[in-house]
Amino acid sequence: MAKKQFKAESKRLLEMMINSIYTQREIFLRELVSNASDAVDKIYYKALTDENLTFNKEDYYIKITADKTSRTLTITDTGIGMTKEELENNLGVIAKSGSLAFKKENEAQDGHNIIGQFGVGFYSAFMVADVVTATSKALGSDEAYKWESTGADGYTIEPAAKETVGTEIVLKIKPNTDEDQYDEYLEPYRLKAIIKKYSDFIRYPIKMDMTSSRPKEGSDNEFEEFTEEETVNSMVPIWRKNKNELTDADYDNFYNEKRYGWDKPLKHLHLSVDGAVRYQAILYIPESTPFDYYTKEFEKGLELYSNGVLIMEKCADLLPDYFSFVKGMVDSEDLSLNISREMLQHDRQLKQIAKNIQSKIKSQLQSLLKEEREKYEKFYESFSRQLKFGVYNDYGANKEVLQDLLLFYSSKEKKLATLDEYVSRMPEEQKFIYYATGESNERIEKLPQTELVADKGYEILYLTDDIDEFAIKIIAKYKDKEFKSVSSGDLGIEADEKDKETEAEANESKELFDAMKEFLGDKVMGVRASKRLKSHPVCLTTEGELTIEMEKVLNAMPS
């Protein structure tokens, strides 16, 4: 029989996949299971809408069988099946969406990404198999056909014998080589683990014959092997369950099972949105910073599912940088399984979900701050730097979102305060929000610059983190009150006539100040008399925008 050739694109994809790196190969099973599930979906729908079809719930399933002797792995489904034409059209060309992604990724010289992150469909079977056959009987057809291919050199189609409607995909698993091991794809326990990892929530049973041992009847120390058909997927995802049915422990378990983190989550958020874009999400605010959090290695992102099938382990587009600490997953039936990273970035639905999630996280943090202050402060200890970077980055575009989530240590109550708390405690005549910068609260407390402000009875925010003052400068104003460093030249509290007095004094002492300036040289810009000092003889102040601490940070930055 003459072999038919694949399209050129398919050939390139095949080559790339066959050379794919080890850990990504396992996703072939996800792809085949999801195709099987789609096919069952279609027949299920038909049965629901066609009176002439009668089906039982038990009729819908996917079965996976491994045979070590023949080195075959078989995926059988009771789905809608494919006609001869469909076998040819559907399996002879690579999925349209996948092909675009392939081209783009290939141009970027990084073909591996696409395989790890996205569905590349049926063809991924060639990552682990050197012969693939698909035997199928379509609903309403009397004939069955067998499609067979050894990979890049094309495929054949011939009539076959198959009693029941549905499809059976048989993979002839590759032999091991020095570099590559394929035996694992014939191990039921390994296969089960792959299914659990990627397809646990497929809504039809995925059945496997599992062999284990049990004590022999009537004997205490003799065991016998037995084989039992098992449904290996749980079928109902936790995110589809009703919140009221779930306990904190359920959410904690899911967090650990998914390896979102090794700590316990501080707070979870379960969303079920049924608006213009439908999605469910379970999001977590972790308790502690991942070890690599403040490094370049850290990758933000949420797991992304399309209708119960995992399509991406870390979808970065779902989270703004300032909420990069959030872990969890999103499932949407409005996303296509084969969507590429390129397209995801421009996907309207995904953008909508991301926007929605961002505001949910914000209100979750706000309510934590309001109702569980202790927990919030714990969170803040771990992730405050990220929030402050968020305020500072993008020229302050996100300051509105973030400013109410910030806390600073305050001189008044000797504990953390929000800007709102500060402003609401301000005496009426106080014009500015005062802050002081330094290495630690203790050191700031001893600064001569704080004296005058503190003496007035005004509260001072102590900024001890490098990034603090940058964030404050970007916020610039909170509830119409500007920020003012206690070390700035004009504090806004020295009375007018005092200023004149100072000026007169300064003129009297001009010679002394000139001599001091000459002595100090470039170390200072000038020497002036000041009214702000009480118990200290001198203090340093700054002119213009930068404060002493900011100058230090800027000087320390690599240029």
Binding residues for ATP: 31, 35, 77, 82, 90, 96-98, 117-122, 167, 341
Nearest distance, CB of residue 339 and ligand ADP, angstroms: 10
When the beta carbons of 141 and 288 are compared against ligand ADP, the nearer one is 141
What is the distance in angstroms between the CA of the first residue and the CA of the last residue of the chain? 69
Residue closer to ligand ADP (CB basis): 62 or 474: 62
- Name which of 335, 80, 35 is nearest 206 in CA terms: 35
Instruction: Please name the helix (run of DSSP H) or strand (run of DSSP E) that holds residue 503, with its range, or none.
Output: helix 496-508
Chain contacts with ligand ADP (rule: CB under 6 A): 31, 35-36, 39, 77, 79-80, 82, 90-91, 95, 119, 121-122, 167, 337-338
Q: Report the candidate in 378, 554, 531, 391 with the shortest Cα–Cα distance to residue 466.
A: 554
Q: Is 39 within 8 Å of 166 (Cβ atoms)?
A: yes
Query: What 3-state DSSP class applies to 118?
Result: coil
Q: How far is the CB of 308 from ligand ADP (least distance, A)?
A: 14
The nearer residue to Mg ion, 147 or 383, going by C-beta atoms, is: 147
Q: Which is nearer to ligand ADP, 31 or 105 (CB)?
A: 31
Q: H or E element: which one contains 472?
A: helix 468-475
Q: Residue 120 corresponds to which tokens in the numbers above?
A: 């590349």
Known binding residues are: 31, 35, 77, 82, 90, 96-98, 117-122, 167, 341
Q: Which is nearer to Mg ion, 28 or 376 (CB)?
A: 28
Question: Shortest Cβ distance from residue 86 to ligand ADP (Å)?
Answer: 6
Q: Shortest gap between Cβ of 40 and ligand ADP (angstroms)?
A: 8
**CB nearer ligand ADP, residue 309 or residue 550:** 309
167 interacts with, out of ligand ADP, Mg ion, none, CB within 5 to 8 A per kind: ligand ADP
Q: Which residue is listed with tokens 């001893």? A: 446
How is residue 143 written in tokens? Answer: 């004939």
CB of 128 to ligand ADP, least distance (A): 15
CB 160 within 8 A of CB 144: yes
In angstroms, what is the minimal distance from the CB of 124 to Mg ion? 9
Cβ proximity to ligand ADP, 113 vs 272, nearer residue: 113
Q: How far apart are CA 8 and CA 106, in angstroms?
A: 14
Distance CA 283, CA 373 (A): 20
Residue 14 interacts with, from Mg ion, ligand ADP, none (CB under 5-8 Å by kind):
none
Q: Would you say 76 or 547 has its CB closer to ligand ADP?
A: 76
Q: In terms of Cα–Cα distance, which of 440, 438, 455, 441 is closest to 491?
A: 455
Helix (H) or strand (E) holding 13: helix 8-18
Q: 3-class SS at 223? A: strand
Smallest distance from ligand ADP to CB 264, Å: 38
Contacts of residue 101, Cβ cutoff 8 Å, sequence gap at least 6? 114, 118, 338, 340, 341, 342, 343
Place of tokens 């969507």: 339
Q: Which residues bind Mg ion (CB under 5 A)?
A: 35, 121
**According to DSSP H, which parts of 372-465 are helical?**
373-392, 399-402, 419-425, 441-445, 450-455
Residue 136: CB minimum distance to ligand ADP, A: 6
CA distance linking residue 123 with residue 27, whole number of Å: 11
Residue 186 neighbours by CB distance under 10 Å: 19
Residue 303 C-beta: closest distance to Mg ion, Å: 19
User: Which residue's CB atom is positioned nearest to ligand ADP?
Assistant: 121
Instruction: Indicate the residue among 31 and 549 with the shorter CB distance to ligand ADP.
Output: 31
Of ligand ADP, Mg ion, none, which one sits near residue 77, judging by CB under 5 to 8 A according to partner kind?
A: ligand ADP
- Using a 10 angstrom Cβ sphere, with 0-12 exposed, 13-18 middle and 19 or more buried, the burial of residue 159 is exposed
